[in-house]
Structures are given as structure tokens and as C-alpha cells.
Amino acid sequence: GQQLNQSPQSMFIQEGEDVSMNCTSSSIFNTWLWYKQDPGEGPVLLIALYKAGELTSNGRLTAQFGITRKDSFLNISASIPSDVGIYFCAGSNTGNQFYFGTGTSLTVIP
Amino acid sequence: DAGITQSPRHKVTETGTPVTLRCHQTENHRYMYWYRQDPGHGLRLIHYSYGVKDTDKGEVSDGYSVSRSKTEDFLLTLESATSSQTSVYFCAISGLGATSSYEQYFGPGTRLTVT
């Protein structure tokens, strides 16, 4: 099955720093979703993107739907300790079958 | 809170035994999904449902069956559990009412261990 490539796999940053991560696919998608997962819990939806070039914000989080429709980006500004977790991207063409990346693990050092 | 519960939350079972996991939603979403999550693989779709008694296979459906007899419940059955089915299983929902919203909301997960 299709798998999305997320990078970096892990990040260790100082509190207050900005974070950037991305997700790439060999296929074109018409929907991108970004999730955050804390240990022992289910993924929580952060941002949904539906249009190439779209830039959407949710508080300190900003995500972009790549122009090629094969990639998406997530930025977190001024990181805080509660940003710790694993961030997943997911892409779909059908709206029903989403393909997920393997995640970016974020550690914030106070 | 998307109103999704999963039961049981943890289960240990022996190889060859049948196992049924339950997903229950309280918000009348049309679509329901079962995923498994394994290290190095992310989340992979097992089966999904687009309405009562309407289901379809996902990426990793072998060894699993599903049923949806009511809008609010989606059951995942492992007919004869194998060690390769040890995983964390997540249910997700989307499409409130008759809409086709693509945004999926996940339940808390069920950790299944097959010994």
C-alpha cells in the first residue's frame, strides 16, 4: 500500500523555537490532514486542507497544501512543552481511504 | 470530543481465538473506519463503512471482518487471532449526518495482544 514520507522522523528543539515538518507522496492528493498523537491516546485532528496552495492556521500551527498536490507542510511557532507528541500527515483522493505518514516525533526541551 | 468510544481498551488473547472489538459513536456520523497502528507503519486502514450494512475493504483487510447493523456501532472481528495481529486498533468517524466531510476523528484505541 501507499505510504507517505514524513520528515524529519524526530526533532529535539528548545522551548520557544519554531518547528517545520513535511510530508511527501508519490501520488497526487486532493485532501491533506494533520494530526497530533499523545502516548496512549488516539490522533487528534489539527488542520484539514482541501485546495492546492491553501494555507490554514490553527493557533500557533500553520499547514500548507503543496502546489504540486504531492506534499504538505506543518509549522509550529514558538513551541511550548505541551507540543510534545507525534505528528502525522494523511492524504486522500477519495475522502474515504486516507494514507498516513509514519510520523514526526517532537520533543520540546524546556 | 467527537463522541467515540472503543471497547475493550485492552485485551490479551491466545492465538486461534476469535476476538471482536467494538466502536460506538454518539454523533450520527455516516462513515466509520477501523485502522491498525504499528511501529514503522503508521496507521493503516483495515475496513470502513459508508452506511448501515455497507462496508468495504481497506489496505490491510486480510484476517479481519466487520459489521455495521446500526449507525452508531461498527464491529471489527478477528475470526482466528494470530500474533501478527498484535497491534493498537483505532476507530475513526467522519461525515456528520448526510454530509461528506472528509475530516476523520479518532477514538482512544484498543491495545490487542495475541500470545
pLDDT of residue A97: 83
Quote the minimal CA–CA distance from B98 to chain A in Å: 14
Name chain A contacts of B4, Cβ cutoff 8 Å: 42
Task: Say yes or no: A41 contacts chain B, CB-CB below 8 A.
Answer: yes
Neighbours of B2 (CB within 10 A): 19
pLDDT of residue A3: 72
pLDDT of residue B28: 86
Between CA A64 and CA A45 the distance in angstroms is 15
Which residue is listed with cell 510520523?
A103
Tens of pLDDT along A53-65? 999 999 999 999 9
pLDDT of residue B95: 78
| pLDDT value at B1 more than 60 | no
- pLDDT band of residue B82 (cuts 50, 70, 90) is very high
Q: Rounded mean pLDDT of A3-25?
A: 95
Across B1-115, the runs of DSSP E, i.e. the strands, are 4-7, 10-13, 19-25, 29-38, 42-51, 54-57, 64-70, 73-78, 87-96, 105-106, 110-114
Q: Rounded mean pLDDT of B40-54?
A: 92
Task: Say yes or no: B88 contacts chain A, CB-CB below 8 A.
Answer: no
| pLDDT value at B100 more than 70 | no
pLDDT of residue A61: 98
| pLDDT value at B101 more than 80 | no
Calculate the CA B15 to chain-centre distance. 20
- pLDDT band of residue A67 (cuts 50, 70, 90) is very high
Task: Say yes or no: A40 contacts chain B, CB-CB below 8 A.
Answer: yes
